């Protein structure tokens, strides 16, 4: 249950403090103001939070967290459109914009989130949520390529051609195999970048070219997995190379540290043709009846120590500036430099015709596996 002082003394103290316009020592405004719901329903990416934080929040505040995972933004969107009841969701930038337009998420009451001040200005006021009105930035990063340092390579991969050029793909297949992300926006965007097209392109001819390019290399692809690939494929060495979010690459590196590879066995590459940049947010669905409790939980996650705990466990760069000094050096070292940032693009929402075409292309790719 939620911690409290003895009833009679506590009530008297709280009344006196309230009249004085003060807050009890050890009780923050965020802890004392909201009436917390008994349950909170959270929908997040897999392996995207330190699970001990969920236990700690439950034990401290008496709120049971019902926690589900999704593998793609499209899965999250479909569940919400179908009426699934969640109080806190973690969509990516382009999906945040789409959800705002459809009024699926609601503006935040930042008075309930005093730790919002910890967010890095670099991660605020982006195109998909001007002014940070709807979502609190959570993690950010890039999509690229993860590869093993113990491969017999003349030079490390530097291009999407490592995945999509048939000759290179065959080489990596022989070295242990390739994994592609099971994510339509990410996979098609990578194919577009490889072919020299914008990553949000909806030209039917360009998308058909992407489809054919990916289908041509599918015989060399061992897995198409975006849900748990860092744990089931990268860390145990089931593949030689993978389409990868940088946090997954970092997590795999942290889990494979050895005397021979003191910084881990895996490295992350931002391909020379360019790549997606992404940012995930903590957002409250419009249908949530527990908005104040969701904001209280967000505030808890924004404590610098808590943000760093999740970042260091998952490998992703937190948007919490106050937590940066608490991050592992491996996370700092693998993030893009200024030159790499210039090569990154945001994934943008597609119009209805564009979405239908991308869905069709992805369905045809998966049907050819």
Does 7-140+279-330 carry CATH code 3.40.190.10? yes
Of the listed ranges 18-32, 90-104, 130-144, 166-180, the one predicted with least confidence:
18-32
Predicted confidence at residue 125, as pLDDT, reads 87
Q: In the predicted model, what is the mean pLDDT of residues 207-229?
A: 97
Q: Would you say residue 264 has pLDDT above 80?
A: yes
Query: Average pLDDT over the chain, rounded to whole?
Result: 91
How confident is the model over 326-345, as pLDDT tens digits? Answer: 999 888 887 788 888 888 99
Return the pLDDT at 335.
77
The helix (run of H) or strand (run of E) holding residue 109 is: none
108: burial class by Cβ within 10 Å (0-12, 13-18, 19+)? buried
Q: To the nearest whole percent, how much of the chain has pLDDT over 90?
A: 84
Domain ranges across the chain:
7-140+279-330, 142-277+338-367
- Per-residue pLDDT of 173-197, as tens digits, reads 999 999 999 999 999 999 999 999 9
Rounded mean pLDDT, 5-31: 40
Arithmetic mean of pLDDT, 279-290: 98
> What pLDDT digit, counting tens, does each position of 239-253 carry?
999 999 999 999 999
Question: pLDDT digits over 291-303, tens only?
Answer: 999 999 999 999 9
pLDDT of residue 33 exceeding 60: no
Task: State the pLDDT confidence band at 220, using cuts at 50, 70 and 90.
Answer: very high
pLDDT at 30 over 50: no
CA distances from 232 to 45, 143, 305, 310, 366 (A): 16, 19, 28, 20, 21
7-140+279-330 and 142-277+338-367 have identical folds? yes
Q: For residues 304 and 286, give the distance between their C-alpha atoms in angstroms, rounded to a whole number.
A: 27
Q: 14-23, 44-53, 192-201: which has the minimum mean pLDDT?
A: 14-23
Q: Which CATH architecture has domain 142-277+338-367?
A: 3-Layer(aba) Sandwich (3.40)
For 103, phi and psi rounded to 5 degrees? 60, 35
Distances (CA, A) of 46 to 69, 90, 281: 5, 11, 15
* pLDDT at site 131: 86
Give 3-state DSSP helix, strand, coil % of the chain, rounded to 5: 45, 20, 35
**pLDDT score at 32:** 54
How confident is the model at residue 23, as a pLDDT? 43
277: enclosing H helix or E strand: strand 275-283
C-alpha 159: how far from chain center: 23
Pairing of strands 221-224, 317-318: unpaired
Q: What is the rounded CA–CA span in Å between residue 55 and residue 71?
A: 23
Higher pLDDT, 87 or 11: 87
Task: Compute φ and ψ for 158, nearest 5 degrees.
Answer: -135, -5
Mode of pairing for the β-strands spanning 221-224 and 178-180: parallel
């Amino acid at each position: 249950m939620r911690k409290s002082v003895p009833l009679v003394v506590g009530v008297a103290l709280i009344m006196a403090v309230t009249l004085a316009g003060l807050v009890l020592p050890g009780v923050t405004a965020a802890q004392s103001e909201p009436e917390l719901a008994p349950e909170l329903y959270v929908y997040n990416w897999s392996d995207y939070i330190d699970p001990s934080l969920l236990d700690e929040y439950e034990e401290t505040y008496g709120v049971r967290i019902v926690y589900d995972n999704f593998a793609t933004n499209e899965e999250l969107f479909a569940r919400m459109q179908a009426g699934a009841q969640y109080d806190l969701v973690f969509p990516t930038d382009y999906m945040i914009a789409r959800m705002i337009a459809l009024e699926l998420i609601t503006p935040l009451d930042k008075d309930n989130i005093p730790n919002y001040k910890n967010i890095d200005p670099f991660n605020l006021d982006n195109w998909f949520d001007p002014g940070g009105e709807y979502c609190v930035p959570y993690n950010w990063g890039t999509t690229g390529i993860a590869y093993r340092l113990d491969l017999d390579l003349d030079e490390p991969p530097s291009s999407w051609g490592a995945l999509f050029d048939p000759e290179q793909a065959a080489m990596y297949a022989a070295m242990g195999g390739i994994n592609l992300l099971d994510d339509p926006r990410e996979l098609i965007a990578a194919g577009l970048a490889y072919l020299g097209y914008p990553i949000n392109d909806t030209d039917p001819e360009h998308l058909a070219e992407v489809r054919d390019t990916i289908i041509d290399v599918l015989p060399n692809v061992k897995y198409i997995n975006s849900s748990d690939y860092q744990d089931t494929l990268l860390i145990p060495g089931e593949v030689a190379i993978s389409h990868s979010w940088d946090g997954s690459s970092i997590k795999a590196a942290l889990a494979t540290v050895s005397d021979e590879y003191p910084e881990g066995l895996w490295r992350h590459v931002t391909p020379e043709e360019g790549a997606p940049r992404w940012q995930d947010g903590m957002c409250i669905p419009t249908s949530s009846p527990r908005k104040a409790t969701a904001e209280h939980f967000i505030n808890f996650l924004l404590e610098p120590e808590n943000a760093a705990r999740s970042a260091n466990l998952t490998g992703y760069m937190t948007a919490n500036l106050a937590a940066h000094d608490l991050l592992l050096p491996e996370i700092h070292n693998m993030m893009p430099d200024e030159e790499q940032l210039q090569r990154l693009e945001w994934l943008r929402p597609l119009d209805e015709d564009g979405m239908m075409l991308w869905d069709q292309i992805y369905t045809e790719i998966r049907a050819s596996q």
